[in-house]
Structure 1
Amino acid sequence: MKRALLAFIALWAGIAGAQDFPAKPLRLVIGYAAGGPTDVIGRLIAQDMAASLGQPVVVENKTGANGLIGTLEVKKAPADGYTLLVTTLSHNVNALLMADKKPYDPLKDFTPISLVSFLPMVMVTRSDAPFNSVQEVVAAAKAKPGEISYASAGNGGSAHLAGALLATLTHTQMTHVPFRGNAPALTEVMAGRVSYMFYPMIGVTEQIAQKRLKALAVTTEKRHADYAGVPTTAEAGLPGFEEYTQGLGIVGPAGIPAPVVAKLNAAVRTSLGKPETEQRLKQLGAIVHASSPEEFRTWLGQDAERWARVIKAAGVTAE
C-alpha cells in the first residue's frame, strides 16, 4: 500500500511538473565544434524551439572524442527535459566501437524526442582521377587490393564508415586514411594523394563546379537537384547504401516524463514544419525528417544493427 501511494505521488508530481514545463531555459548540447552542419542545424532548431516553448534554448558545444564528451554530459543530466542532445551517427557508433568499456547504452540511457534530418553525402575524387564511376573504383580496388584509399575526418566518423561500407558491400580491400577534420582530408583527395572520399553534400559544390573534384555518386534515394547528373549509389550498383545515411535527432536523459517528451516533440515538429527552416536545412544539404519519439527509438535500434554489421565485417576499431 505504501509503495503504491509513493508511486502515485511520484506520478502526480511528474504530471504537475510537466504542466509547468518549461519554467526555465533549456540546454541543447552539441558534441561538435561551432560552424559545422550539425551545429548549424542544432542552432536553427534551438531558435525555433525557444519560440514554441517560451523559454531560451541555449546551445552548448561540448566537443571531443567524436561526440562522446557531449553524449556523456547529457547522459548524467537530470531527467527533467531541460538538457537535450543533438545526436549524429556517433551516438550509435561510439557505443559499438567502445562496447568493451560500455560508456553508455544508446537506447536505455536516453529518451528519444524526434528525428530531425538526414545528411546524405557525395562520393568525390580528384577531377583527373583515372576512374569516372563507382564501379571503376571498385574494379581498381579488386585489381590491386589495398591500393585504393579513402579519406575521412577521423576514425569512426561518417566518411570513414561510408568508405568501410563500400568496401564491405563490394568485397574489396581499401585503405582508410583518417585526418583531423574534413578540410585536410578533402585537400589530400584534390591533390590525388588519396583516391576518394565521402563528403557532406553542402561542402563540395564549389570544388566540383571549379572542376577540382568530380562526383561519382550521391547517397540519396533519388537524384539530388544540386547534383542532377550524378547517379545515386543504387544506380551506381549499390542498392541499399542510402539506408545508411546519417540521421540527426534530439534525445534527452533516460526517464523524462511522457508529457514533457510530448511538449518537446511538438516543438521540434513545429520547427521542422516552418518553410523557412526547411529551406535552410535543404541549403545545408539536409533532408528534413520529423518523427514521433517511438519512431525515433525504432530507427535508432535499426541504425545500430546496420552499423554493427558493417563494423564487424570491415573490422573497424576505435583507434
Structure 2
Amino acid sequence: MRPSPVGAPRSSRANSRSPGEAPAPGSSVPRGPVAPAPLPDPDGIPAKSFCESYIPARSSISKPNAIRPYLAAVRKVTTMVNSLDELAQALARNRSAGIVTDLPLSLLQSEEAAKAVQSAALAAFDTDFRGYALVGTHATVRRSLGLREAIVSPIPNRACFESRKTFPLPRGMIGAQCELLFTIGRNYPAAGETVDRQSAADAIVACRPAIGLVGRRTRTAPANPLVATADFACHVATICGPSPRPINWLDLDKLPMTARIDGNLVMSASASDILGHPLEAVAWLALNLVDDGGGLNAGDLVATGSCAPLLQVIPGQTLAVDFDTLGAVNCAFE
C-alpha cells in the first residue's frame, strides 16, 4: 500500500458540526477549543533503537557517553534544515532513531505543505503501509494536541504490531489511545456509494481492540494542526489486539471500555465516545480520502482514535485496554 497524504479535512465541508451536536451519518469530526496541554520532557536517551542503521548497537546505547556524539551530530544536521524535503527527511530520521530534535517548524505555512511533508517523511520511513491511524476523534485529545479536528496518517508496516506484549517507548511520547481497529473487506466507497454509518458497516469484515501510541519527533509540542499533521499525525505505533470476535458492527457504540495500568483502573469510557459511534470514524476517513482522490482498499486497517483522553504511559508500566465482549489488548512498555 502506498501512503496517501491526508491531514485535517477542509473546514468548509457542509456537514461539519459543533462539539455539542449529535453526530450524523457521514459527519465530520466535531470542533473543539485549541489549548495544548504540557508534554513530557523530551530530553534523554531512548531505551531502545528503532533502526540500527541510524544509531549505535544496543550495547553502546546503555552507555550515555557513547550516544552523545550521535545525538549532537543529528542536532547539528537538523538545525541546517531549510526546505520542506529536508524537514521530512529529518522527521523520518528521528522516528527511526526514536529521538526528538529541534526542527524549523515555521516552514509549515499551509495544510498542503504539512501533507507534503508527512507524505515525504512516510516514504523515507517505510515502503509498506497497513492502513490509517486517526488521532483526535475524542474532544479531549484534540484539545491536548491543539487540533481543531481529527488528523490521520497511514500506518507504516514497521509501526504496526500484532498482539505485541512489550514495546520500547521512544522519546517524545505523548500518550496512549484506547481505540478500535477495523479491517476493511472491500474497496470503500464504491462509485456512487453513500458514505455513512450503514455503508461503513457493510465495508467492514473485522474489529478488534487496539492501543495507539501518540508522540512527536520534534522538541516543540504540536501546538497546531500543521505541525501535528506533518509529524506523522503524531502516530508512533499501533498495537493490535487478538483475533476479532463476532459482533454486530452497528452495536459497537454500546461497548464499555476500561483501561488499567499495572492492574489499577485508570479510565472508564464507551466506544460511543468515538464520534458518537466508531463507524463514524470510518465514514469520516473515507470522505477525506475521497476528497484527496483516493479511498479505502480491501485489507486496509483503520484505527479509530481514542474513546477516552490520552493516557500517559512510561517505561515499566503495563497498559491493558478491555472492550468487554469484543476482547482486550495489553502491552508492557520498556
Could you say whether these structures have the same fold, taking a TM-score greater than 0.5 normalized by the shorter chain as the test? no
Q: TM-score, normalised by structure 1?
A: 0.28
Which structure has greater helix proportion?
1
